[in-house]
Amino acid sequence: MMIIKMRDIVGTFASNKDIAKEIRTQTLIPLLEKEGEELIIDFEGVDGATQSFIHALISEPMRRVGTSKFFEKVTFKTCNEKIQAIIIIVGDYMQAGLE
Amino acid sequence: MVAALGMKVRSEKISHKIISKSGHYLERMGLFRLWGIESGMHIKAHEESGKFIPLTIVRTEKELSELLENIIPIFHLSEYPEQADTMRYIIDEVTRNVIEHAGLDTNALVCVQYYPRSKKIRIGIADTGLGLRATLSRHHHISSHLHAIQQALWPGITGTTSKPGGSEQNAGAGLFFTKSMARVNKDYFFIYSGDAMFKLLEPKENDRLSIPVDPFADRHTKEEGLPFWKGTAVGIDITLEQTLQFRVLLNALNDVMKEATRERRRKMERRKPRFI
């Protein structure tokens, strides 16, 4: 099981979409496309995130592997209420667009 | 907007005459410095931290991060530090739109002022880039600058794709979130692009609190045929006393965003029969 510590990569506010793209293309998608691999995205120490950042991080992986497989394989850890709310928004509208 | 316009002109071509009492404010906000000219005024500069952000050019992610860092002291000085989330969010989303969509060599120009007496924070963000119509026309049929404003504020419409749910890098929700935050908080929101502008009006007292998908369903004024602005300008006031907690705002936006995406997908799936 792989763990991505977001604080080390984005600092306390996750908004830089170039960084989201880097995580998405270099880590998230390759890992999700491997059989049996699981991933934890840990937001410990991150105070906030924009919808744009979370979209850039997870929307394409959700499209590629399908939403149910995505949520089976990816777990979000230590998210505060604001970050949780944004992940839920992106997860919900992506599912609405794909279902 | 004036500051952004002046940046397109060579310093030696700019002449000025200050006739307003508030001329020193323009100096303190860095207007003349930005244009590379002398104002002729000599003022004692007060510490800006916590009160305002002077006119600031943002071209890169790094400059945007630095700007956001400078915003935080404003909230620590106010009685409403928890509202920093809303402000940081709005500035990030709107400024990032400029960096990403306004075109090569385009700067976002940002300034922020805190008014302690009215407990208001005013934000202005302007660019002289492509404008909303040109940006959105890449993937959508856009009939006018006003139509472009309407579409830019519509959730799920982005200049990078016509797919429901957006592209891998853009969802088309940044301006919708920003406008909706202003709507829910009864704040001022204004956007100008090309020859058109849209201004959100304060809802009537007995209006039901709702977040419509169509910005023109909000109480608003709009105008076309205005002096042409090549680019986009956005103005937002945040009244700190009446600003809802950021998390509550997000929860309110979830259903709207989900339904808008679903509706967009339904529309795209509807195919008309072909007759030959």
H or E element, residue B221:
strand B220-223
Measured between CB atoms, which of B96, B165, B170 is closest to A97?
B165
Task: Give the per-residue pLDDT at B268.
Answer: 67
Tell me the chain A residues in contact with residue B166 when contact means C-beta distances shorter than 8 Å.
Answer: 55, 59
Tokens, residue B123: 């934000």
Residue B69 to chain A, least CA–CA distance (Å): 10
Dump pLDDT digits (tens) for A19-62: 999 999 999 999 998 888 889 999 999 998 999 999 999 999 99
- Looking at residue B104, what is its pLDDT? 62
CB A55 within 8 A of CB B167: no
CATH of B47-269, one of 3.90.1150.10, 3.40.50.10240, 3.30.565.10, 3.40.190.10: 3.30.565.10
Answer yes or no: are the C-beta atoms of B184 and B209 closer than 8 Å. yes
Nearest residue of A to residue B168, measured between CA atoms: A60
Q: Which two tokens stand for residue A48?
A: 């906030």
**Residue A9 confidence (pLDDT):** 94
Flag whether residue B169 sits within 8 Å of chain A, measured between CB atoms. yes
Closest partner residue to B250 among A56, A85, A97, by Cβ? A85
SS3 for B51?
coil
Within 8 A of B165 by CB-CB distance, chain A residues are 59, 63, 93-94, 96-98
- Buried residues in B62-101 as b, exposed as e (16+ CB within 10 A): ebbeebbebbbbbbeebebeebbbbbbbbbbbbbbbbbbb
Contacts of B156 in chain A (CB under 8 A): 93, 97
Q: Do A17 and B169 touch (CB under 8 A)?
A: yes
Question: In chain B, which residues fall in CATH 3.30.565.10?
Answer: 47-269
Give ∠ CA B228-B231-B233 in degrees, rounded to 5.
95
| Residue B63 vs residues A60, B11, B16, B69, B113: alpha-carbon distances, Å | 27, 24, 29, 10, 19
- Spell out which residues of chain A touch residue B264, defining contact as CB-CB under 8 Å: 97
- Looking at the partner chain, which of B88, B168, B265 has a beta carbon nearest the beta carbon of A48? B88
Contact A96 B265 (CB under 8 A): yes
- Kindly determine whether residue A85 and residue B247, on different chains, have CB atoms separated by under 8 Å: yes
On the question of pLDDT at A5 being above 90, the answer is yes
For residue A74, pLDDT over 90 is answered with yes
Strands of A1-99, DSSP E: 2-5, 13-14, 39-42, 48-49, 74-77
- A16 in contact with B, Cβ within 8 Å: yes
pLDDT at A96: 83
CA distances from B185 to A86, B16, B43, B258 (A): 19, 38, 36, 21
Touching check for A12 and chain B: CB below 8 Å?
Answer: no
For chain B, which residues score pLDDT lower than 70? Answer: 43-50, 75-78, 81-82, 102-105, 243, 245, 268-274
- A86 pLDDT band (50/70/90 cuts)? very high
CA distance B76 to B20: 32
Residue B50: φ, ψ to 5°: 95, -10
Q: Per the CB < 8 Å rule, is B261 touching A48?
A: no
The rounded distance, in Å, linking the Cα atoms of B193 and B8 is 17
* Token output for A14: 């996750």
CB of B262 less than 8 A from some CB of A: yes
Asked if A89 and B92 come within 8 Å (Cβ–Cβ), the reply is no
The answer to whether A15 faces chain B, any CB pair under 8 Å, is yes
Ranges of each domain in chain A: 2-98
How would DSSP label each residue in B100-157?
HHS-TT--EEEEEEEETTTTEEEEEEEE-SS-HHHHHTTTS---SHHHHHHHHTSTT-
Instruction: Give the residue-averaged pLDDT of A77-82.
Output: 92
Residue type (1 letter), A16: N
